[in-house]
Amino acid sequence: MGQQMARRLAASDIGRRRFLAGAALGAGGLLAYPALSASGGSRRGRAAASSGPYQPTVESLSTHPLPQWYSDAKFGIFIHWGVYSVPAWAPVGREYAEWYWHNMDNPSDPTHQHELSLYGAAATYDQFIPQFTAGKFDPRAWVELFERAGARYFVQVTKHHEGFALFRTSVSRRASVYLGPKRDLVKELFDAAARYTPSLKRGTYYSLPEWYNPAYPGDGGSFPGGGPKQYVTGAPIPYTGYLPVSDYVNDFQVPQLLELISQYDPDILWGDIGGPNNSLPVIADFYNHGLNRPHPKDVVVNNRMGVPVRDFTTPEYASNFQLNPAKWEACQGIDPFSFGYNAATPDSAYFTAEVLIQRLVDIVSKNGNFLLDIGPRADGTIPQVMVDRLTQIGDWLRINGDAIYGSAYWIQPADGNVRFTVTPGRFNMISLGWPGDQLVISAPVPVSADSKIRLLGSHAPPLPWTQSNGQLVITMPPSGEFSTRSRYAYTFTFDWDR
Amino acid sequence: MKIFSGSLRYRFAAAAVLTVAGVATAGAATGAIGGPAGPGCKGPELTGTASPALILNPPQTVSVTETLTANCPGPELAHIVLYLTGPQGWTVTPPGAREVPSLRPGKADTLTWHVQVPAGAGGSGLTAQAIYDTGPHSTDSVRATIAASVAYPSVAAAYDNTGITNDTSTGPGNIDGSGYSLSAQALAAAGYPPGSTVTAGGLSFTWPGAAAGQPDNIVAGGQAILAGGSGATLGFLATSTYGPASGTGTVLYTDGTSQPFTLSVPDWYVSPPSGSDPVITLPYRNAPGNAQDQHPVHVYYLGIPLTQGKTVRAVVLPDVSSSPPVAGSAALHVFAMTIG
């Protein structure tokens, strides 16, 4: 993930301007695409896959409907796992640990001093690569944990800004199949999901730029390109595994994105940063790849591919949300401020289940999905605090999921601490925290005289209620919050015979 | 008035439409449950109209229609309710959710509401919402904004942008989406402190009385402004940021007739084009960070001939920009308006 939203948006804007400038030159850029696809064995058949209803234009791609499964899913798991999982360090709660390389190169960043004191002045970031072993990686356990958490999809980082791919790629040797674990970590996770948790949708995150790829043209900001430099001397150093290309976008970035689509058949393509790109043909290929098969499937693309095409927007580490009728997805870590594993973060600093569950409810009531991130360790183990949080969320969703999955936003998302959702045949009022002796609602909820209001997770009979002066007053069971197995957020639901 | 529909609109991309039928067939073969089906069809469409959409003199009853169209192949929309909500103080009748029979693909249904806008009320925009099931485990919502607005009693009441700041406090300024603004000190030096009289085109204007750093201009986005009076000319003091802006507005007369007019405003930062009337020229502009950019900027006079013998009731500004301004997009700013 990018370090700051503002920085990302700036980079994305740069990409858009460049793209538009390119488009103004005529169709040359787009026509070059089939020729590009035809080269390279692993990309054979690309031209066929890219034909179909979607054309590589903003106009055509903007007709793509939001898949029902994505609208219904509400909860997904993000996975940031890469070479940065080896140093696994950042100032707690202030910087992203997956930005370690970028931060260690900045003499005024605490990460620089951390690198000096632990690894010495002669170290390089790529010396971490052999320690990224994935030695205890259990993909089946991962996907079964995601399912246990109540997630309906996951998005795996397949290559972050460090440029280390976790998948088989023909355009670089800077990848987990050649270095480090010498395994295709994307294939292993996707195969495990297909076999053991087939209902989980599968997504690939891909950073369009790389900080130090020698071929990257640079964006004048956080992504300088032009090859890495030793962090103390500033001397040029190798970009391990790099295979020279002349055109970063068309010889490297686009081929890697097409490899992800053809090799792993993702349901979600989650780009990051934007910047220089040729994403229109990639997205057209992705949409058409979903349709050109005996049993077509609906796929979805986020808003960070550097072009004005998107199925949803992606607020990052935000905590105040507004209802947006256009679909959106909030992402954040369980860590207070990191997607990658930060070994310096004490368990006590991680977000509590209470905060995460209440945030999920708030997001869903406002038409969002919640993409919650875990940062596994370099050996593939998932820190227990993250397992615990996912399990707690899963416990909550098993009780309250009927008010979450497949729900729609109502005319008013919130009334004080209560959030509203609508599901088939039901109207749901979810209280963030136990309401006390009474739950009082001023919003014009669609109760009728014979409505029976029930508390999910409880065997208590329907709750007594009255309505006067536009206020609905529900009397809580005598045993209070202990009358339900739910914790942290409490669903009061009644039949809505629409 | 313009109708704004929700973001989920059918796109008429010719290439895509040709393929809809084939894809829908494929989708049906999988037995997939869910609303949208295939390229070219974004989902059910919600639209609406308000009549009148422009409320000059509340109290006023507005008749509002809301139409839900199941314009995509796929399952029917079931258990539908439609809602209509208005700005604070407006009363929607009947209130609450209204049920609509299920809609099969290609079908539409329309409901009508009556909205009471009480005396003294302002506000604009009605929110339409449809909620419906697309399958046994899926409920969806779609929203649309229906244009309906109460006219502003004056230009000052419609100010929605801060275009003038003190040289030592440029922070509130944002005339261009990039944080730039006119200088209150440069204006005073040119003889135009807040509330002063500006004479142009033989007309007498009152320059905005707002203190520096407070809203002092309207970003023209279709606002209606009451403007009683008669004369030969409707005059504006205006400028444009991020390029020239041009659009069509409407003069509404007391006899119920109307007169369209075109307002073409040059950019504030370029040399005034020939034929323009830059009534105010300042030697510099204010920049973010209490900085000054030593480059001249201009405010222009524009005059529109009025129909003789008629009395103006209201003026609807061109709907060419939105507030707040966005860098890279032209925005038309109105500081003052007069009839004479």
pLDDT tens digits along A383-428: 999 999 999 999 999 999 999 999 999 999 999 999 999 999 999 9
**Which residues of chain A lie closer than 8 angstroms to B38, CB-CB?**
53, 65, 291
Where does residue A64 rank: exposed (0-12), middle (13-18), buried (19+ CB within 10 A)? buried
Segments of chain B assigned to CATH 2.60.40.10: 14-150
Residues B96, A69: C-beta atoms closer than 8 Å: no
Q: Note the pLDDT of residue A221.
A: 86
pLDDT tops 80 at residue A27 = no
**Residues near B183 by beta carbon (within 8 Å), at least 6 away in sequence:** B164, B165, B166, B167, B282, B284, B285, B286, B292
Which one of A9, A17, A71 makes the best mutation probe of the B interface by having the most chain B beta carbons within 10 Å? A71
Q: Note the pLDDT of residue B228.
A: 85
Q: What is the average per-residue pLDDT within A80-106? A: 98
Where does residue B286 rank: exposed (0-12), middle (13-18), buried (19+ CB within 10 A)? buried
The listed CATH number (3.30.530.20, 3.30.1490.70, 3.30.9.10, 2.60.40.10) that belongs to domain B14-150: 2.60.40.10
Q: State the nearest Cα–Cα gap between B116 and chain A, in angstroms.
A: 19
pLDDT tops 50 at residue A259 = yes
Q: Note the pLDDT of residue A1.
A: 58
pLDDT tops 80 at residue A24 = no
pLDDT tops 70 at residue B1 = no
Rounded Cα distance, A111 and A118, in Å:
10
What residue in B sits closest to A411 (Cα-Cα)? B129
Q: State the nearest Cα–Cα gap between A334 and chain B, in angstroms.
A: 28
* Residue of B11, B30, B141 lying closest to A408 (CB–CB): B141
pLDDT confidence tier of residue A191, bands split at 50, 70 and 90: very high
Q: State the nearest Cα–Cα gap between B191 and chain A, in angstroms.
A: 40
Which one of B140, B145, B178 makes the best mutation probe of the A interface by having the most chain A beta carbons within 10 Å? B140
pLDDT tops 80 at residue B328 = yes
The torsion of the CA quartet A102, A107, A113, A117, rounded to 10 degrees, works out to 90
Please compute, for residue A448, the number of CA atoms within 13 A of its CA located in the half-sphere on the CB side: 9
pLDDT tops 70 at residue A40 = no
Q: Note the pLDDT of residue A50.
A: 55
Interface of B with A in 292-321 (CB under 8 A): none
Q: What is the pLDDT of residues B157-190, one digit of tens each?
A: 999 999 999 999 999 999 999 999 999 999 999 9
Residue B38 forms contact with A (CB below 8 Å): yes
Q: State the nearest Cα–Cα gap between A301 and chain B, in angstroms.
A: 14
Q: Note the pLDDT of residue A398.
A: 98
For chain A, the residue count is 498
**Other C-beta atoms lying within 10 Å of the C-beta of residue B76:** 15
**Residues near A141 by beta carbon (within 8 Å), at least 6 away in sequence:** none
Report in angstroms the alpha-carbon separations of B290 from B161, B172, B211, B217: 18, 10, 17, 21
Q: Looking at the DSSP assignment, which residues form a beta bridge with residue A328?
A: A313, A368
What residue in B sits closest to A426 (Cα-Cα)? B139
Tokens 């875990």 sit at which residue? A374
pLDDT tops 90 at residue A48 = no
Q: Note the pLDDT of residue A188.
A: 98
CB A342 within 8 A of CB A378: no
Interface of B with A in 48-77 (CB under 8 A): 72
Domains annotated for chain A, with CATH where assigned, are 5-400 (3.20.20.80), 414-495 (2.60.40.1180)
Residues A68, B39: C-beta atoms closer than 8 Å: no
pLDDT confidence tier of residue A36, bands split at 50, 70 and 90: very low
pLDDT tops 90 at residue A318 = yes
For chain B, the residue count is 340
User: Which of A25-29, A147-151, B214-218 shows the lowest per-residue confidence on average (mean pLDDT)?
Assistant: A25-29
Rounded Cα distance, A428 and A492, in Å:
6
How far does CA B68 lie from the centroid of its chain?
24
Residues B39, A326: C-beta atoms closer than 8 Å: no
**Token pair for residue B67?**
């139409």
Instruction: Please choose, from the candidates A206, A270, A326, the residue with its C-alpha nearest in 3D space to the C-alpha of residue B43.
Output: A326
Backbone angles phi, psi at B230, to 5 degrees: -135, 155
Q: Note the pLDDT of residue A30.
A: 31
Backbone angles phi, psi at B242, to 5 degrees: 55, 55
What residue in A sits closest to B97 (Cα-Cα)? A446
Which one of A267, A422, A423 makes the best mutation probe of the B interface by having the most chain B beta carbons within 10 Å? A422
Q: What is the pLDDT of residues A287-310, one digit of tens each?
A: 999 999 999 999 999 999 999 999
Query: Strand, coil or helix: what is B169?
Result: strand
Residue A287 forms contact with B (CB below 8 Å): yes
pLDDT tops 80 at residue A127 = yes
Residue A296 forms contact with B (CB below 8 Å): yes
What residue in A sits closest to B18 (Cα-Cα)? A53
Provide ipTM, 2 decimals. 0.90
Mean pLDDT of chain A: 91
Residues A406, B83: C-beta atoms closer than 8 Å: no
**Token pair for residue A434?**
């136990």
Q: State the nearest Cα–Cα gap between A206 and chain B, in angstroms.
A: 25
Interface of B with A in 80-109 (CB under 8 A): 80-81, 83, 85, 95-97, 99
What residue in B sits closest to A299 (Cα-Cα)? B38
Q: Looking at the DSSP assignment, which residues form a beta bridge with residue B69?
A: B45, B108
Q: Note the pLDDT of residue B170.
A: 97
Residue A327 forms contact with B (CB below 8 Å): no
* Residue of A71, A298, A408 lying closest to B131 (CB–CB): A408
- Whole-number percent of chain A with pLDDT over 70: 90
What residue in A sits closest to B129 (Cα-Cα)? A411
Cis-peptide into A462, omega within 30 deg = no
